[in-house]
């Protein structure tokens, strides 16, 4: 958490008051919540009434996917199709496939190219063929693994021609690239606090007031009746403070992180020449001139090495990175994002994502580059041993 967000959290956490209560302490908590709502709306180009506070990105995505699906289907029973990009976070993919298994939804995964960019022609074709059956489209603003910035405004233009609402998971994008709810035209947008210097366990779904949105949790009817539960005023205030800071410092921080990212990418290519950068080129831009890749993201695959081995060896050297892959039932799986991009399963297993943040420095990059060659060699050696067939009899 940033210093300002932590200070705000501690100050509010020391007060009593339920924002749904009518006594003086409750009204004070409500004031904190509503002032925070105004701050979040201002930072993201939305109206305060469009901000629904949640427990974080996963809850916001579930509310969007399930809530819009049920809301649209209640208006028209034919609306059973959900179109999502093949590289979405599991917080979008899993509720979509849950709807397929429990609520009669039909899921279409929109393909992506080799850099993780969604295929707009496939979207057009799906909508042209099934417009009357589509409940919603969900395409993330920027990918959490390879950093690809998606053409969200074009997705909106295509979908809205057919009267289909669009949700976008902007968890990774907010604070790194410009995110404006109203200007983008999206109908619902997910944001979370812990990616911005705020606390874990708080976020928001921005949703147009006229968007059909059914409740996923039920109870006291808070947050427009679609997200019941006592509001965490301390976390909400800290989230609003962190988001305001991130929005104000975005351009300067993006330039700083982008320069560090470029240093990291060039260094990895120098010390491990066969490492492959995945996602758009760091200096590529969209047709509008915006960055095609998040400034804080560098994602590589290392041939012959397992991502988990790389991760643990780097961790022992004081470098914390991520494989970016899902782990189901304790068994590491190759990244669905890389597989959708056409990367082979073998290569996808050797993935590492390096993420930079507000506290990252040149020394951090130097430390990574010093440790990486030996780590890559040891991980490859471990992979060869694991792949070697056992000799002798059958145990």
Q: What's residue 395's pLDDT? A: 38
Q: What's residue 383's pLDDT? A: 72
- Phi and psi for 315 in degrees, rounded to 5? -60, -40
Q: Where in the chain is the domain with CATH 3.90.1150.10?
A: 250-387
Q: What's residue 325's pLDDT? A: 58
CATH number for 3-247 (one of 3.40.225.10, 3.20.20.150, 2.40.30.130, 3.40.640.10): it is 3.40.640.10
Q: What's residue 165's pLDDT? A: 98
Q: What's residue 388's pLDDT? A: 57
How far does the chain reach from its first CA to its final CA, in angstroms? Answer: 53
Catalytically annotated residues: 327
Q: What's residue 226's pLDDT? A: 97
Q: Which residues of the chain have pLDDT under 50?
A: 329, 390, 392-395
Q: What's residue 288's pLDDT? A: 81
**Percentage of residues in the chain having pLDDT higher than 70:** 95
Q: What's residue 332's pLDDT? A: 72
Q: What's residue 393's pLDDT? A: 45
Q: What's residue 394's pLDDT? A: 42
Are 166 and 139 spatial neighbours (Cβ–Cβ below 8 Å)? yes
Q: What's residue 386's pLDDT? A: 57
Q: Where in the chain is the domain with CATH 3.40.640.10?
A: 3-247
Model-wide pTM > 0.75 = yes
Are 157 and 193 spatial neighbours (Cβ–Cβ below 8 Å)? no
Domain 250-387 has CATH 3.90.1150.10: yes
Are 212 and 258 spatial neighbours (Cβ–Cβ below 8 Å)? no
């Amino acid at each position: 958490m940033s210093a300002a967000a932590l200070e705000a959290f501690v100050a509010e956490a020391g007060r009593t008051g339920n924002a749904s209560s009518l006594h003086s302490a409750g009204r004070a908590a409500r004031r904190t919540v509503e002032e925070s709502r105004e701050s979040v709306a201002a930072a993201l180009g939305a109206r305060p009434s469009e901000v629904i506070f949640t427990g974080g990105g996963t809850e916001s995505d579930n509310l969007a996917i399930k809530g819009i699906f049920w809301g649209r289907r209640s208006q028209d029973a034919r609306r059973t199709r959900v179109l999502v990009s093949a590289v979405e976070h599991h917080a979008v993919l899993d509720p979509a496939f849950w709807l397929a298994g429990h609520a009669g939804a039909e899921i279409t995964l929109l393909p992506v190219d080799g850099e993780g960019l969604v295929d707009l022609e496939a979207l057009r074709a799906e909508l042209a063929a099934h417009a009357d059956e589509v409940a919603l489209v969900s395409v993330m603003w920027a990918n959490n693994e390879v950093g690809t910035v998606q053409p969200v405004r074009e997705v909106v233009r295509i979908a809205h021609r057919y009267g289909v609402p669009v949700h976008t998971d902007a968890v990774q994008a907010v604070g790194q690239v410009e995110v404006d709810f109203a200007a983008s035209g999206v109908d619902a947008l997910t944001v979370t606090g812990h990616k911005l210097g705020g606390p874990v366990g708080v976020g928001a779904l921005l949703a147009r007031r006229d968007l059909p949105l059914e409740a996923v949790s039920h109870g006291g009817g808070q947050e427009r009746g679609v997200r019941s539960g006592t509001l965490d005023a301390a976390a909400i205030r800290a989230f609003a403070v962190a988001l305001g800071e991130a929005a104000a410092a975005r351009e300067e921080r993006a330039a700083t992180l982008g320069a560090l990212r470029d240093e990291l990418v060039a260094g990895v290519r120098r010390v491990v020449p066969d490492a492959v950068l995945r996602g758009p080129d760091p200096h590529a831009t969209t047709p509008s001139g915006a960055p095609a890749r998040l400034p804080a993201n560098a994602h590589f695959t290392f041939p012959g090495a397992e991502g988990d081995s790389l991760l643990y060896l780097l961790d022992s050297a004081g470098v914390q990175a991520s494989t970016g892959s899902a782990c189901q039932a304790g068994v590491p799986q190759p990244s669905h994002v890389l597989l959708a991009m056409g990367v082979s399963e073998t290569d996808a297993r050797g993935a590492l994502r390096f993420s930079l943040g507000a506290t990252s420095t040149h020394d951090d990059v130097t430390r990574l580059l010093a440790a990486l060659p030996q780590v890559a060699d040891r991980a490859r050696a471990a992979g060869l041993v694991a792949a070697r067939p056992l000799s002798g009899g059958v145990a």
